[in-house]
Amino acid sequence: MSWKGWLILIVALWLIVSVLIPNIAGSKGANLANFLITGIIFAAVSAMDFKQTKTVAWIILIVGIWLIISSFIPSITGSKTAAMTNGLIMGIINLILSFFMKKSKAS
């Protein structure tokens, strides 16, 4: 697995583990599901081992955008600053990674 695959796996594990941190997850079911589902998606994408780089890059891009958008939806984050920050940081990391993957594929 390339370093990009490992980075996506680390992001996936963080999103899954972050649902166990009360300050981030809180008691909001939608927030728990949001981070858990996106973490599972990233874990599955990292398991693809980048055989379909464009497809993987698009999946990462779309889920990264979703993480950023969902950070500003109060019914998902429960207006918790830690949940908003977690979603924003993970979303931005994934956006950067997806663009890097698309660029490196063309080279």
pLDDT beyond 50 at 23: yes
Judge whether 70 and 87 are in contact, CB under 8 Å: yes
- Which pLDDT tens digit goes with each residue over 57-99? 888 889 889 888 888 887 777 667 787 888 888 888 888 888 8
pLDDT above 90: percentage of residues in the chain? 1
**Residue 22 CB neighbours (<10 A):** 10
Q: Read off the pLDDT band of 54 (50, 70, 90).
A: confident
What predicted TM-score, i.e. pTM, was given to this entire model? 0.79
Quote the mean pLDDT of the chain: 78
Q: Residue 48's domain spans which residues?
A: 3-106
Domain tally for the chain? Answer: 1
